Each structure stands twice: as structure tokens, then as C-alpha cells.
């Protein structure tokens, strides 16, 4: 792997490259997942794709500070980064999937396919995202003070020691205001109206052991975007690769050559 920076959409964007021989895969992590925390999954994905993992603005080694942290700003970042890499598959997890949807609505030609991994389906007039703000706020404040993996373990009880250690080390890079803006956006941004205008191939990967996406949500997404192929990963919570890496890989790669 090798980290690199590009100037895109007016700011410094940091990515980690996991070289592979397949099509370019641009990974957009979730709300509090710096790029480095995706390493264990990116290494495996590199068996099938040429993988680039983005540090979303205000996280990891990308630019932070007094910036716009709205969904539109993050989507504009993704379009600009994709133009730097070249046409690529966008794989977004959770918040990252919502970014991918909005980015594809803005400029579909930058992407060849979307892989949407358990995107929150909350929004105006919809049921709230099931996680509470306090879970994010408390763990970020703990990391900002400096904490051990043992102290972080209570927030991630099912993760491996290495995964918890990385979170304890890197969570402090997730700027509090960036995370709060994104979390609030889960309830104010309408991604369903974006979905209805997309013609790109879409692969929806759903956590079978979580309630972020329910059966009625799958039906709605497939109705709005009939080109969607849905894969359910059993024995996995919302953090699908962390809970069932093999199931996640199978869902992402299954029949990929035929899509």
C-alpha cells in the first residue's frame, strides 16, 4: 500500500492505494472510518480491483478545519477525486454510500458502477438512523483525549484487537464538527430523489444482522433504480466487512464480470 495526496475540489485529499490488476475501485468509508481502518478489507479487494481508499474531508490525513462538511461538498470531492483516478467503481459504506449516490447524480460519467454498502435510508419524513449521536460524540471525545485500545473496546466489542487498536489510534482525526454535520445530514438529505435519476449499474450490499436497511427499503430502492442488484450478507451488522469479511467480499465480487 502507498498513501498519496491530490488537490481536488479545492482541498488536499488523501488516499491510500492498494495496487491490483483489476478495474479501479474507489472506496469511500463511513462517517468515522479513516482510510487506514479499511486496510484489512482493501488488501483483499486488491485481489480483484485496483483499490484507492479515500480519507473523506475532515478525517484521516485529508484536509480539515473550517470547511463545508455537507453531503454536497463531500460528493463534489468524490467527483473530483474520481476524475483524477479515472473512471472507477465507487464503493461506499454507510455515509460513503450516500456520498457515492449524490456524486453519481452530479456526474455519472465519473463512475462505471456504484456499490452501496448498507447506506442509511433515513431522511426527511423517514424513520431516523438507528445509531445515536452520543455513541459517536463520546467515542470521539475519548479519542481526542488519548485512549487505549482497551478503553475503545467498549464501543466496538466484536472487532479484532488490531481493528480496535486502529480505531483508538485514528479516531481523533475525525473532526467533531465534520461528524456532527454528516450525522445530522442523515436525517435532512434526501438520497432517494437522487437514486431515481441514476442509470449506472448499482450493487446494494445489505447487512443481514442490522436494521439500517429493511426489506421495504430494499423494495423501494429497487423500484427507484431497477438496475439494482441486491446482496444480503448474513451474520453481519452495519459494519459488514468487520463482522463478515468473506461474506462482504462475496457480495462485492459475485458475478462482477457479468454486471
> Cα(246)–Cα(243) distance, rounded to whole angstroms?
9
| Residue 81 scores a pLDDT above 90 | yes
> Cα(172)–Cα(156) distance, rounded to whole angstroms?
16
What are the domain boundaries of the chain? 2-128+187-258
> Cα(45)–Cα(22) distance, rounded to whole angstroms?
10
For the chain, the average pLDDT equals 96
pLDDT, tens only, 90-145: 999 999 999 999 999 999 999 999 999 999 999 999 999 999 999 999 999 999 99
Q: Are strands 24-28 and 50-55 parallel, antiparallel or unpaired?
A: parallel
CB within 8 A of 72, min separation 6: which ones?
102
- Residue where the block lists cell 448499482: 202
DSSP 170: H
DSSP 187: H
Beta bridge partners of 11: 8
pLDDT interval class at 256 (50, 70, 90) = low
| Residue 257 scores a pLDDT above 50 | no
SS3 of residue 78 by DSSP: helix
Using alpha carbons only, what angle is made at residue 100 by residues 94 and 102, rounded to the nearest 5 degrees?
A: 110
pLDDT, tens only, 187-200: 999 999 999 999 99
Q: Kindly report which listed range (129-133, 218-222, 252-256) carries the lowest average pLDDT score.
A: 252-256
Grid cell at residue 99: 456520498
Grid cell at residue 127: 424513520
Instruction: Quote the percentage of the chain above a pLDDT of 90.
Output: 97
CA-nearest of 144, 145, 169 to 156 is 169
Grid cell at residue 231: 446482496
Q: What is the pLDDT of residue 254?
A: 82
CA distances from 152 to 31, 32, 98, 162 (A): 17, 14, 27, 12
What is the dotted CATH code of the domain comprising 2-128+187-258? 3.40.50.1820
pLDDT, tens only, 137-193: 999 999 999 999 999 999 999 999 999 999 999 999 999 999 999 999 999 999 999
Residues 185-198, buried b or exposed e (16+ Cβ, 10 A)? bbeebebbebbeeb
Q: Strand 228-233's sheet: what is its strand order?
A: 2-8, 11-18, 50-55, 24-28, 88-93, 111-117, 202-207, 228-233
pLDDT, tens only, 50-65: 999 999 999 999 999 9
DSSP 7: E
pLDDT interval class at 258 (50, 70, 90) = very low
Give the residue, 177 or 257, on which the prediction is more confident: 177
pLDDT, tens only, 5-43: 999 999 999 999 999 989 999 999 999 999 999 999 999
CB within 8 A of 47, min separation 6: which ones?
20
Amino acid at each position: 500500500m502507498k498513501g498519496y495526496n491530490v488537490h481536488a475540489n479545492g482541498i488536499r485529499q488523501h488516499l491510500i492505494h492498494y495496487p491490483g490488476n483489476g478495474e479501479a475501485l474507489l472506496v469511500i468509508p463511513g462517517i468515522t472510518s479513516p482510510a487506514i481502518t479499511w486496510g484489512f478489507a482493501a488488501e483483499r479487494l486488491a485481489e480483484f480491483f485496483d483499490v484507492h481508499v479515500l480519507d473523506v474531508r475532515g478525517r484521516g490525513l485529508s484536509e480539515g478545519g473550517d470547511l463545508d462538511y455537507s453531503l454536497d461538498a463531500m460528493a463534489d470531492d468524490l467527483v473530483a477525486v474520481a476524475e483524477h483516478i479515472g473512471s472507477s467503481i465507487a464503493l461506499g459504506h454507510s455515509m460513503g454510500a450516500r456520498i457515492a449516490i449524490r456524486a453519481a447524480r452530479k456526474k455519472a460519467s465519473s463512475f462505471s458502477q456504484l456499490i452501496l454498502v448498507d447506506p442509511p435510508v433515513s431522511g426527511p419524513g423517514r424513520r431516523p438512523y438507528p445509531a445515536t449521536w452520543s455513541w459517536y460524540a463520546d467515542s470521539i471525545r475519548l479519542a481526542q483525549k488519548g485512549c487505549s485500545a482497551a478503553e475503545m473496546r467498549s464501543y466496538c466489542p466484536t472487532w479484532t484487537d488490531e481493528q480496535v487498536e486502529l480505531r483508538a489510534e485514528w479516531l481523533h482525526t475525525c473532526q467533531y464538527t465534520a461528524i456532527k454535520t454528516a450525522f445530522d445530514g442523515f436525517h435532512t438529505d434526501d438520497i432517494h430523489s437522487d437514486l431515481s435519476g441514476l442509470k449506472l449499474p448499482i450493487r446494494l450490499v445489505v447487512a443481514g444482522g442490522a436494521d439500517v436497511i429493511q426489506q421495504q427499503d430494499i423494495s423501494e430502492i429497487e423500484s427507484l433504480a431497477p438496475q439494482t442488484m441486491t446482496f444480503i450478507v448474513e451474520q453481519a451488522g452495519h459494519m459488514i466487512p468487520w463482522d463478515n469479511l468473506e461474506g462482504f467480499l462475496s457480495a462485492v465480487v459475485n458475478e462482477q464480470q457479468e454486471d
